[in-house]
Structure 1
Amino acid sequence: MLFLKIPLLAVLLATGDNEDAFQEEISFKMIHSSSFYNNSWVKIQNSAWLGDLQTHGWDTNSGKIIFLYPWSKGNLSKEEIKDLEEFFRGFSIVMPQVIHRYASQWKFKYPFEIQITMGCELHPGGAIGSFYRFAYQGSELLHTQNNSLFPSPNGGTRAQDVYRLFNQNHANKKIVQKILSDTCPRLLLSILDAGKADLQRQVKPEAWLSIGSNPGPGRQMLVCHVSGLHPKPIWVKWMRGEHVQLGTQQSDILPNADGTWYLQVFLEVEATETSGLYCRVRHSSLGGQDILLYLKLPHNSMGWIILAVMVPLVLLTALAFCLRKRW
């Protein structure tokens, strides 16, 4: 696996306020996952991702790559795309056969999952490195180290056996090295350039507060919802004054159907300790103007309710006193 030093091209010299848009590490990864239900039934899925954005899918019936954006092809030629399709089509046929053959020897117990991730990553400064990982049931068996493939230290004899078989397939190994050292870096840089309008898209989030399920007597679960944001990185905290509240918990950041993101941030507090709490949202689309949502719990309206109940009681008591005195 080669480690390349490649100029960032015009994509990293984007004009205007977005000139630093790609100065953080970003990766392009191809993911192959196989679900082995038994020794004759396997479900195959292939996809490709630029960071957290899926850019390519896979049609299992035709064996064709699905380009999810007009710029997903980058600068790859038709011949290169065809070669990639043939590689993944053949890989998706041969790999399950090999796994079935060695499942008993490697002590793979049905049903199980195999995941192979390979790709390249662009570092700030222009260096591009490649990676390859092979995992069984979420446990890594093979990985790259110092730009070469090795069995994972915690993989035991199973990792050694898989590594030995991988090294024996020189033709497949050569193709993978070419994809990682040549095809992937060119595709990464070209789709960053071609897709920068979408990748640099800024969408302001919407935020609102709610009360979650009752966590216990005398306590409340406060929830800050943030939705519709793009890009994905965001900072959301429950605060009082300038102090972040301990116990703040954040959900996973989940995708919306329109390509934006959604998350929730929780804080469990004593019902009597809610005064001055607010949710603070920071995002690149806000231009430094954070969203501040101050908590307005029903305790204010509760005071009005209590007042509405007490006033008639006081009046009734006074009336009863007057009537008694008159009687």
Structure 2
Amino acid sequence: MLFLQTALLLTLLPCGNNENDFQEPITFQIIRISSFYSRFFTQSLGSAWLDELQTHAWENNSDTVIYLHPWSKGNFSDEELIEVENILHTFFIRLGQALYNHASQWQLEYPFELQVAGGCEMHIRDASVGFVRVGYQGSDFLSFQKNLWVPSPEGGNRAKLVCALFNLYQGTQEIIHKLLSDTCPRFLLSLLDAGKAYLQRQVRPEAWLSPGPSPGPGLLTLVCHVSGFYPKPIWVMWMRGEQEQQGTQRSDVLPNADGTWYLRVSLNVEASEASGLSCRVRHSSLGGQDIILYWDQHSSPGWVILAVIVSLVLLAGLAFWLRKSWSTYVSDA
């Protein structure tokens, strides 16, 4: 089984190299956040993620799954998907009922929020690892380990009481174990297979330069924007010749609405030292041909425009003078 898993991962990993969006390990997880405003009013939001790519969503307070991509069903049959959806729905219903029935015993104070994350993490040279983690009010509360619910130290006595109850239901524990150890890894691999064309696509970045807010007198902030690239891994650096500028500051890589990524890289310099600096971009979609943008070339259009405006003003003045001189000559004649 491990050999088969390794072979499939090596085949299905997007791009098939170290510069891909899904570097080992690869994780598929379902996240559900439930807000308990009172004993009679609860709201829940759910989503599923393949690493940092959202693949599924749940309608508010509903067990209806929204498949966000044509390949989000993987290679599972409709019957398998319905079975998994029903199991998940039953688990969250029972979890809510347990909280409702034992709210006073566990000293749960309304309103409170419960976060649940469950799924599997796959490694090329190791077996998959399943997990379920539960958070209460944003802190670790309990987790599922080796067929048992284990309280987190932050959960205190309340977490111990919850685990003691959950561990009584061995049938539920066996179902969770099967989901984590068998169903989840199979579904993760089927997502990679069904979505292979999408996940392995290469989209070239666009890059441009702009000045940022001045950090102080005599200083400049040079900003290099890189957007629209996929997969996510990218290298962007301010350079002077072939020397990397150590003061380069890199923002988080942020998602665009179309599934591509955006990055902003800036450098603070003395205004007199900006000349000769360049922003260099490396990405797997560029075929080894870096994008290089020179700050001198960015700033030169402004001077060109200014020169054109000055020239036009001078020409207009010359034309006015010639016209006036010609009128004076004609009147004198």
For the superposition of Structure 1 and Structure 2, which TM-score range results when normalised by the shorter chain? Answer: 0.7 to 0.9
Q: Which moved more, 1:147-156 or 1:112-121?
A: 147-156
**Residues 77 and 6 of structure 1, relative CA distance in 2, 3 Å threshold:** farther
Offset at residue 153 of structure 1 (A): 4.0
TM-score by length of 2: 0.78
* In structure 2, distance between residues paired with 1:161 and 1:237: 52
Q: Secondary structure at the match of 1:168?
A: coil
Contact 1:142 1:150 in 2 (8 A): yes
Task: Give CA deviations for 1:225-274 in whole Å, capped at 9, x if unaligned.
Answer: 11111111222222323333333322222222221111212222332332
- What is the letter of the counterpart of residue 271 of structure 2? A
Matched with 2:72 is 72
**Residues 224 and 99 of structure 1, relative CA distance in 2, 3 Å threshold:** farther
Please show how residues 219-298 of structure 1 align to structure 2 within 5 Å. 219-296=219-296, 298=299
Q: Secondary structure at the match of 1:237?
A: strand
Please show how residues 115-154 of structure 1 align to structure 2 within 5 Å. 115-125=115-125, 127-143=127-143, 150-154=150-154
- What is the letter of the counterpart of residue 218 of structure 2? G
Contact 2:148 2:167 in 1 (8 A): no
- What is the letter of the counterpart of residue 280 of structure 2? R
Q: Which moved more, 1:197-206 or 1:219-228?
A: 219-228
- What is the letter of the counterpart of residue 216 of structure 1? G
1:8 aligns with 2:39: no
Larger helix fraction of residues: 2
Please show how residues 1-327 of structure 1 align to structure 2 within 5 Å. 5=2, 7-8=4-5, 11-12=8-9, 14=11, 18-20=15-17, 24-60=24-60, 63-102=63-102, 106=106, 109-125=109-125, 127-143=127-143, 150-296=150-296, 298=299
* In structure 1, distance between residues paired with 2:93 and 2:165: 17
Offset at residue 299 of structure 1 (A): 8.2
* In structure 1, distance between residues paired with 2:249 and 2:172: 45
Offset at residue 206 of structure 1 (A): 0.7
**Residues 205 and 112 of structure 1, relative CA distance in 2, 3 Å threshold:** farther
TM-score by length of 1: 0.79
Q: Secondary structure at the match of 2:278?
A: strand
Offset at residue 183 of structure 1 (A): 0.7
Q: Secondary structure at the match of 1:279?
A: strand
- What is the letter of the counterpart of residue 50 of structure 1? L
Offset at residue 63 of structure 1 (A): 1.9
* In structure 1, distance between residues paired with 2:206 and 2:24: 25
* In structure 2, distance between residues paired with 1:201 and 1:298: 34
**Residues 272 and 85 of structure 1, relative CA distance in 2, 3 Å threshold:** same
* In structure 1, distance between residues paired with 2:247 and 2:166: 47
- What is the letter of the counterpart of residue 121 of structure 1? E
Q: Which moved more, 1:190-199 or 1:120-129?
A: 120-129
State the Cα RMSD in Å. Answer: 3.2
Contact 2:147 2:174 in 1 (8 A): no
Q: Which moved more, 1:147-156 or 1:217-226?
A: 147-156
* In structure 2, distance between residues paired with 1:102 and 1:148: 20
Q: How many residues align?
A: 304
* In structure 2, distance between residues paired with 1:103 and 1:222: 55
Offset at residue 293 of structure 1 (A): 1.6
Contact 1:130 1:147 in 2 (8 A): no
- What is the letter of the counterpart of residue 117 of structure 2? T
Offset at residue 212 of structure 1 (A): 1.7
